[in-house]
Amino acid sequence: MKKTIIKGTGRYVPPRLVTNDDLSLWMDTTNEWILQRTGIEQRYWIPEAGGVGASDLGFEASKIAMGLAGWEPEDIDLIIFATLSPDLFFPGSGCLLAHKLGLTSTPALDIRQQCTGFLYGMTTADAYIRSSLAKRVLLVCAEVHSTGLDISTRGRDVTVIFGDGAAAVCLERMETDVQAGVLASCLHADGSLAESLMTLAPTSRENPRLDEKMLQEGKHFPTMDGRSIFKNAVRRLPEVAGEVLKKAGVPLAAVDLFIPHQANLRINQAFAKALDLPESKVYNNIQRYGNTTAASIPLALDEAIEKGLVGPDSTVMFLGLGAGVTWGAVLYRFAAKNSEE
């Protein structure tokens, strides 16, 4: 049977370190508030002058992942690029990344699933691979939030949580009858809650799409009903974890590590508590990166692999909830070390 396995991962964050104390110079906030409400200690942002897009961060992460996978750009059958902060309104960042990789005709698909971009991307890649439409898919998740955040006190509830960053995953077909690769995935969306986390402008609903008044009102900055998103996450994450385990026929105890989206440390602690999991089974790195949206799960995966927390034979669950709202989970089992291709 055809299975989708991870051949290589890579991460990249820009070098500008922004601490909570730095933020408190620009807006009415404190290190204590941010730490206590979110767990975040620092994040990385692109240079203040700009000039770096999601595809640039994604390119750096892709080179590392492809190096580990032993892939050349020509080996890629499909690029999937997940971001809510694309370089341009259009064309997609996947096209820009393909060009940076020196590719001239490889298909590139952008997906706009925000915090669940990795989950939707992984599921799409798995469908392409298992249906033989592709053998190798490069999944890139990258965000440049910092150029779109309100760093005045007006935006403090949103701005303090977001960080820039990227991660890439090389996904490849493996022929095997053992239980390995993507075991099951569950994806959901409820657009009735779209307004709980969104950026209103530029918008094709208005003519012009962005004007001086909208800029003054900060319509180009994200707004969030943090409490609503928080409550939804705390309800939906345990629910979708149970759903994906049932679909795969795998017991909870068989999961070695849960890698949730990094939106708020308290959400992930509530998730652990709901499923009665020791905190050591739930990976968190939001303390160091903030919320990097689409990039957060693969960025955490890359670190977990590097630390030896997951590897051959381990079972891992990726899950998250965010803007849309969208939520979902993917259950993945690493192939055994000596598995044949």
Kindly list the residues in this chain that would bind ligand UT7 in the complex (CB under 6 A).
29, 33-34, 37-38, 115, 156-157, 160-161, 197, 226-227, 229-230, 233, 263-264, 267, 291, 293, 322
Candidates 115, 141, 170, 186; catalytic one = 115
User: Among residues 71 and 283, whose Cβ is nearest to ligand UT7?
Assistant: 283
Residue 186 annotated among the catalytic residues of the structure? no
Candidates 261, 264, 268, 285; catalytic one = 261
Residue nearest to ligand UT7 (CB): 226
Residue 170 annotated among the catalytic residues of the structure? no
Q: Which amino acid is at 309?
A: L
Cα gap 282→269, rounded to integer Å: 8
Smallest separation, CB 192 to ligand UT7 (Å) = 16
User: Among residues 227 and 246, whose Cβ is nearest to ligand UT7?
Assistant: 227
Cβ pair 275, 312 in contact under 8 A: no
Residue 145 annotated among the catalytic residues of the structure? no
Task: Examine residue 202 and say whether the peptide bond preceding it is cis (omega within 30 degrees of 0).
Answer: yes
Token pair belonging to 53: 């897009």
Q: Which residues contact 132 (CB under 8 A, 6 or more apart)?
A: 2, 173
What pairs with residue 316 in β-bridges? 257, 332
Smallest separation, CB 320 to ligand UT7 (Å) = 8
Q: Where do the DSSP E strands lie in the chain?
A: 2-12, 16-19, 42-45, 78-82, 108-111, 136-143, 165-175, 181-189, 197-198, 223-224, 257-260, 315-322, 326-333
User: Among residues 310 and 325, whose Cβ is nearest to ligand UT7?
Assistant: 325
Smallest separation, CB 135 to ligand UT7 (Å) = 32
Smallest separation, CB 329 to ligand UT7 (Å) = 16
Instruction: Give me the active site residues, please.
Output: 115, 261, 291
